[in-house]
Each structure stands twice: as structure tokens, then as C-alpha cells.
A = this chain, B = another copy of it.
Amino acid sequence: MSVGIRHDDLRRRNRAMVIAAVRRAGRPSRTEIAATTGLSHSTISAISSDLIGEGILAEGKPSEAGSLKRGRPQVGLGLNPEAAAVMTVVLSLNFLSVAVIDYAGQVISEEQRRLDTLTMSREALIGECVAIVRRRLEDPDIDVRSVARIALAIQGITDTEARAMLWSPITPQTDIAFADILEAEFGIPATMENDCNMMAVALRWRDPERYRDDFIAILLSHGIGMGLVLKGELFTGTHSSGGEFGHMIHRPGGALCRCGRRGCVEAYAGNYAIWRNARQLSEDTEPVADVSDAQMRALAATARERDGPEREAYRKAGEALGYGLGSLFALIDPAPVAMVGVSAAAFDLIEPALREAIAQTAGGHHSKSISFDTEPNELPLIREGCAMRALTFVDQEIFAPGVQGKSGVAGKNVA
């Protein structure tokens, strides 16, 4: 049951508010912070003085064009890059990518590595992750003690607590508690996030104008994933990361999906499905393990060139996505959509059938007003999302720690 507010919570929450305002605004002055938070100047002054004393914020130049005005110039407050660091680990098909990021958001060390995730044993997979993290922590440029958080992202399903990967298409292994494993190994708090959720987080930081309170990020890749933000909050399931848009049912008993079931949206719109249809293979054909981005681009080129099975395959993908979105919109109402991934580059081939399908659904009232945006490259987005997620954690849990220690994690690494 929700709990009363203690007196000391007040300071904690307002500290968090100030840090958040600085992270959003870049180098705001105290006056600007007072304006955006609604707190009085005196309070902002007191809190920021504390934060500077603790080395979390640092005074800097006035924010750009401040020198034009008349009175005492504003002095900008920025995040102190050395206050802490975080680490991102992105695990995708045959690829592992790690980065260390300072408190202000700059990458200070990184490493990428090809793996054969589909055939690796459980131990090897975990081992590679642990090893790559260890190597980054041993980087002489990095002060290990400053690393306050590790955020992992993986394609697939994670649990609501962000502790474990439950299932992933990139490996036959299931239920690996990556967060617990890394925490135990390095003593650094860690979380295990869903890749599409991190895409959504990144979009929100990149373009807060367009992606703010309600929007949808859809990954069009080998599989179909979704990250959903509703009322300004990341949407998750009751037990898992949820939002498995790709496995909503498009046609009961229909095409064979990679998940073993039939008729999922993904079984029509995933790369393997488009490839299968373009080859005019039966819908019962076992999905292939991987289709390269180059192959997909070639397919799209052919589809653009001439009317044929390739074009039809993209049409079917559009139809499945459209009906799926229609069902989703019946639940949440329409919202801006970002299409991410290789097939987002072929969105021109997908869009007509998609819009036509949406128009057949309840969400289709205003189908013309639904806007789509495309971003072919998912990896940078996922990394950025992880970084922001980890940094936000540091902002909130470490630099504005609360009384209610629901996490033994919280107080550990105070920098």
C-alpha cells in the first residue's frame, strides 16, 4: 500500500528534481532551474550548493548567449563528468558491444566483439559478457570505483524487475540472470533491459518534442519488437518486459512463427518472414536463423524495381503490421510511431499496405494523422537508451538516495 511522505523525502525528491533538470537542460542557471521545477530560488540555491559541494554538479560558463543581457550574468550548472561513470552492455545477434560513459554522458571507453550467440553454451555466453566487462574495467583510463551502474540490453524478454533475460531469439539459452551475475562478479549494481524499451528511452532523450508522453518504437528486424511509452512512462508487462507486439496474433492458425506458434505478426513482418514470402516458400517453412542486412536490402531493391513476390512479401508485412497496430490502437489510441531497424529502410514498401490495414481497424479513424518516422540503425539507439537509463539511476538512487531502502543496491556505490 502506498506510504506516507516523510519529511526527509522532501529534500531527496527535490534534489532528484534539480539533477534531472540539469540533465535535461544541459547547462541551466539556477534561475532557470527554479523556473522549470517551480521551487523557490532559495531552495535551488541551497540544493545546488550542496550538489556542487558533493562534486555532483559543477559551475561552468553561462549558457551560451548569456553575455548579451544586462545584469549579473547567469552561471550555468552542469553535470560533473567525473562524478560517476556507467557501463552499457548490448547483446544482440552475434554481437556484443560495451561502452563506459561518464556522468555527463560522454563515451570514455568502448569495445565491440563478434560472437556466435546462436550456438554458444550458456557458460560461454555468460563468460564472454563477464570478460568484456572486466576488460573495460581494467582500462587504465577508467577509475573502477567510479563505475556506479551497468545496464545490459538484450533482444528478447526480460523480467519486470530487470534482473534476468527470460527468453531471447539470439540464443537457445533461457533464464539467465545477467544482472545478478554481473553484480555478484563486480559488486556494481546492474539491470537487464529489453532492447526495444531502451530504443524508446533513447528516442525520448533525442527528440523530446516528438517523443514525449505517448509514442511507440517498433523494431523491424529479424524479429519484431516494441518499446512503448504511455503517459510519459515506459510500459512493461506485469511479469516480463512485455509489449511483445510481434507476437500479437494476426491470423489465427496462420504462418509459422519463430516462437513456434502460428499467425503472429512477426511471422509475416519479421525479416525471415519477408524473406520466406519473397522466395514463395510455404508459410509452414521453418524460419531461417538469420538473414543478413545486405540480403534484406537486396530484397527491398528488387521489390522497388518490379512487381513480384518480393513486393508482395513487403505488402503482407505491411498488412500484418497494420492490423497489429490497429489492435494496439484499439487499446491505447493512436500515437506517433518510430520504425527502427533494417526494414525501416524499406518502409516505403511497407507503408501503403500498413495504412490500408490500419484504416480497416478501430484505430483507423484518423489513420491519416498517424505519423511514422524511420531510423534504420537500432544499435546506437539501444546503447544511448542504456546509457541514459543507467545515468538516470545514478541521478535518482545514488545522488538522491532515499530513506526507504527497498534496494540494498541503492546505497552501495556512493561516489
Residues of A within 8 A of B (CB): 1-7, 10, 13-14, 17, 20-21, 24, 36-39, 43, 213-214, 230-231, 237-240, 242-245, 247-253, 259, 261-264, 319, 323, 326-328, 330-335, 357, 360-362, 364
A247 in contact with B361 given A238-B214, A239-B333 (CB within 8 Å): yes
A334 partner residues in chain B, CB cutoff 8 A: 238-239
Q: Which of A4, A36, A43, A364 has the most CB of B within 10 A?
A: A4
A332 in contact with B252 given A362-B261, A362-B264 (CB within 8 Å): no
> How far apart sit A98 and B116, CA to CA, in the bound complex (Å)?
66
A237 in contact with B332 given A247-B362, A261-B361 (CB within 8 Å): yes
A335 partner residues in chain B, CB cutoff 8 A: 238
Asked if B248 and A330 sit within 8 Å, CB to CB, the answer is yes
> How far apart sit A359 and B39, CA to CA, in the bound complex (Å)?
53
A247 partner residues in chain B, CB cutoff 8 A: 330, 361-362
Kindly identify which residue among B251, B323, B326, B331 contacts A328, using a CB–CB cutoff of 8 Å.
Answer: B331
11 A-B pairs in the complex with CB atoms less than 8 angstroms apart: A3-B37, A4-B17, A237-B332, A238-B332, A238-B334, A238-B335, A239-B334, A240-B333, A242-B331, A250-B252, A263-B360
Nearest B residue to A239 via CB reads B333
Q: Smallest distance from the beta carbon of A8 to chain B beta carbons, Å?
A: 11
> How far apart sit A262 and B357, CA to CA, in the bound complex (Å)?
11
Q: Smallest distance from the beta carbon of A260 to chain B beta carbons, Å?
A: 10
> How far apart sit A36 and B2, CA to CA, in the bound complex (Å)?
8
Q: Smallest distance from the beta carbon of A262 to chain B beta carbons, Å?
A: 7
Nearest B residue to A246 via CB reads B330
| Identical subunits present | 2
Kindly identify which residue among B3, B17, B249 contacts A361, using a CB–CB cutoff of 8 Å.
Answer: B249
Asked if B259 and A362 sit within 8 Å, CB to CB, the answer is yes
Asked if B249 and A333 sit within 8 Å, CB to CB, the answer is no
Q: Smallest distance from the beta carbon of A258 to chain B beta carbons, Å?
A: 11
Q: Which of A13, A213, A247, A259 has the most CB of B within 10 A?
A: A247
Kindly identify which residue among B3, B39, B243 contacts A4, using a CB–CB cutoff of 8 Å.
Answer: B39
Asked if B251 and A251 sit within 8 Å, CB to CB, the answer is yes
A14 partner residues in chain B, CB cutoff 8 A: 4-5
A252 in contact with B214 given A43-B4, A239-B333 (CB within 8 Å): no
A360 in contact with B252 given A237-B331, A240-B333, A245-B331 (CB within 8 Å): yes
A1 in contact with B36 given A328-B331, A331-B328 (CB within 8 Å): yes
A263 partner residues in chain B, CB cutoff 8 A: 360
Q: Smallest distance from the beta carbon of A252 to chain B beta carbons, Å?
A: 5
Q: Smallest distance from the beta carbon of A65 to chain B beta carbons, Å?
A: 22
Asked if A4 and B38 sit within 8 Å, CB to CB, the answer is yes
Nearest B residue to A243 via CB reads B331
A333 in contact with B242 given A249-B326, A252-B360, A323-B249 (CB within 8 Å): yes
A1 partner residues in chain B, CB cutoff 8 A: 21, 24, 36
A39 partner residues in chain B, CB cutoff 8 A: 4, 6
Nearest B residue to A212 via CB reads B1
Asked if A38 and B262 sit within 8 Å, CB to CB, the answer is no
> How far apart sit A69 and B107, CA to CA, in the bound complex (Å)?
64
> How far apart sit A21 and B14, CA to CA, in the bound complex (Å)?
26
Beyond A237-B333, A250-B252, A264-B362: 8 further Cβ-contacts under 8 Å? A2-B17, A5-B10, A5-B13, A5-B14, A238-B332, A244-B331, A245-B331, A327-B327
Asked if A244 and B17 sit within 8 Å, CB to CB, the answer is no
For the complex of A and B, list the 4 residue pairs with the smallest distance between their C-beta atoms, beginning with the closest. Answer: A237-B333, A247-B362, A4-B39, A248-B327
Q: Smallest distance from the beta carbon of A99 to chain B beta carbons, Å?
A: 28
